[in-house]
Amino acid sequence: MASQDWFDKDFYKVLGVDKGVSAADLKKTYRKLARQYHPDSNPGDAKAEAKFKEISEAYAVLNDPEQREEYDQIRAMGSGARFSAPGAGGGGGFDDVFSRFGQQRGSASAPGGGFEDFFSMFDQQGGGFGSGRFGQTTGGYRGFGGPQRGADVTARTTLDFVTAAKGETITLQGEDGVPFKVKIPAGVADGQKIRLRGRGRPSPDGGENGDIVVTVAVRPHPVFSREGLNLRLTVPVTFTEAALGATIEVPTLGGEPVRLRVAPGTPSGRVLRVKGRGIHSSKGTGDLLAEVQVAVPQHLSDEAREALERFHALEPKENPRADLMAKARQ
């Protein structure tokens, strides 16, 4: 910030607060404005980014009691003052400002006071403004100034398939050893991260808390698998059920079985759909997909074998692999 800005900028007005605002209300106001104008919330918006820099700069000064006192003193004594170029009409410029500053902080010519005290705010580190002083960034939002955000706390949990599908509140322990409760939403998927905002480590300088980030692993189910919000399973049927047709029962996840009609001549691999019996989540509800698989009997009685041989003699003589062979020669 150029020197003249110390007199020109009204940080209280930038934040929309009174001069007597408390530290707690100042922080509350800053956090609200920071969320509103943060570049992550306004991608590509140059005006919002400029506003964010402005409010971060104002908060960095007013949140520090010593800086705020110095700022108030400078604003009070510099009201209406302007810097003038050397030799421009004599008088005015720096003289008007520093003469009054010297009256409050010691004579301008006295060792250890006046100009030295004033300039120490500008040049404690050889350019810019001194450590922790006016205009310095604190490593917060994207380096624009303002308080730093607290660090995130990470945790992992492994859920069974039903708990992940239905949702549940569980207790975990973070990497820092502190237990906490987390609500697992219905339909959480394997590898998904759940972010608990503001429940991580506190900021070192009055900024926002970090988050707790929980990574979820889901154990496989012996019957069901997921395809987005749909549940899928394989349903064995007998040869006669597939050939002649049948009504069969199919399990659902954590609920009562449903009855499905297998049409006559149903081949292996055909998928039967049950609407609304998949995963229920805030994003919607999936279906249950039952893939038919014809089960071949492993053991036949003499009577069953004779019956199949009679069927074989009567079945159509079409070769079911003829089309496959023709395509393979192409």
Phi and psi at 247, nearest 5°, equal -110, 125
If the chain, 330 residues long, is cut into consecutive pieces of 10 residues, what is the mean pLDDT of each piece?
58 90 90 84 83 86 83 68 42 44 42 42 39 37 65 90 94 79 93 91 86 93 95 95 95 92 95 95 94 92 91 84 84
- Contact residues for 29 (Cβ-Cβ < 8 A; gap 6+): 15, 16, 17, 21
Which of 145, 3, 23 shows the shortest CA–CA distance to 83? Answer: 3
Question: Residue 101: what pLDDT?
Answer: 44
Model confidence, pTM: 0.53
CA distance 46 to 68: 28
Q: Which two tokens stand for residue 48?
A: 């919002």
Question: Residue 145: what pLDDT?
Answer: 56
3 state SS of 215: strand
Question: Residue 52: what pLDDT?
Answer: 86
DSSP characters over 47-79: HHHHHHHHHHHHHHHHTSHHHHHHHHHHHHHHT
CA distance 109 to 115: 8
Q: 10 Å Cβ neighbour count for 66?
A: 9
CA distance 60 to 202: 18
